[in-house]
Amino acid sequence: MRFKSRFNPVGGVTDLLTYIRQPTPHRWPILFASCLMTFGLLFWVTKESVFVPPEPPKVVYISTFAEGRSDEEIRQSNVENQKRKEEREAELAELRQKKVDAYKALGRATGLDVDSMAKQAEAENAREAAAREARQKELYQAGTTLGDKPE
């Protein structure tokens, strides 16, 4: 009962009607502006905007190969690509070696023991490679045991 009596809207409605009945000079423009602002805000807040999903892109496949290549032409192309790849790798290895030699020369010039540092680096690289290989072997074995489950 107490809740119902505390929030009874009858008193508020009668106060509003009493205020509207009072003879004030600008009551209708103020009421109109109040209603306009209220409904304008509600219209702005409740407006629904729908975004249309974009059109899927039109894919055009570009092939740099001739249409009717024979198996022998494909093999020759693969051999040529492999040769180019090996040449690039050889160039990169040569550049890496030049870089290592330059750093070794700098180290010797500053009085560092470059040979022992190189041995430590080789040992560390070998350890990392062994760990990487062991991890790959472990993952491979785990993958094969998952596939061998009896049904």
DSSP letter string, 73-86: HHHHHHHHHHHHHH
Q: What is the mean pLDDT of the chain?
A: 87
Q: How far is CA 3 from the centre of its chain?
A: 53
17 vs 12: CA distance, rounded Å: 9
pTM for this prediction:
0.42
User: H or E element: which one contains 53?
Assistant: none
Residue 49 dihedral angles phi and psi, to the nearest 5° = -115, 130
95 vs 102: CA distance, rounded Å: 11
- 16-70 pLDDT tens trace: 888 878 888 887 888 899 999 999 999 998 888 888 899 999 998 877 888 888 9
- 98-142 pLDDT tens trace: 999 999 999 999 999 998 999 999 999 999 999 999 999 999 888
The confidence band for 151, taking pLDDT boundaries of 50, 70 and 90, is: very low
19 vs 12: CA distance, rounded Å: 11
User: H or E element: which one contains 127?
Assistant: helix 114-147
Residue 147 pLDDT greater than 90, yes or no? no
